[in-house]
Structure 1
């Protein structure tokens, strides 16, 4: 005898795929790009392995105002924040702090604010 599986023909729409997508992108960025950035800017440059002229103000400013540089800076600031706020939102639920819609809006609004500030910062350079 076959089990009777019921399929919901009209499932409720969810916004979770958007947040999980940003969570995944932020986690990937933080795991793959951030360590290299820290290595280059926080270890190799101060040790003199990288020529100081390569990180001069003019070159860094030129990079930051290019489209690739602007996207890199925005990604570095915004994507890990989406990852972190998604973790905070679900972590609160796991710890039995059921904040409901208010907690969700607060977490994602904060990540959105950081993203907006990153974009504004780039356009002000």
Structure 2
């Protein structure tokens, strides 16, 4: 048993990159999402799956609430979705994050990354 624990700790130390992106960054989210994508259907039983869902939902809700408040106050909105609730699929979001240069993803929050993806998908004209 002790041997198994030692092997698991050693394996996790090897698997963890030394220069991992800071928690909360768009890069950290993308790195974790790509790791889960590599697991295929087994990703659904990985503990990080639900955490990523919660983080993504929280970022999206925050952006949506900010947009709704700006609309009500007559301020400029940051993206122009034809619907009050923008549609952004999981893989579409991952692809959008990948399109942001890595150096930028390492410096911005998940929320900022999601806003960039939404602004590219739903640009405001004029």
Normalised-by-shorter TM-score class: 0.3 to 0.5
TM-score normalized by structure 1? 0.32
Q: Bigger radius of gyration, 1 or 2?
A: 1
TM-score (norm 2): 0.32
More helix as a share of residues: 1
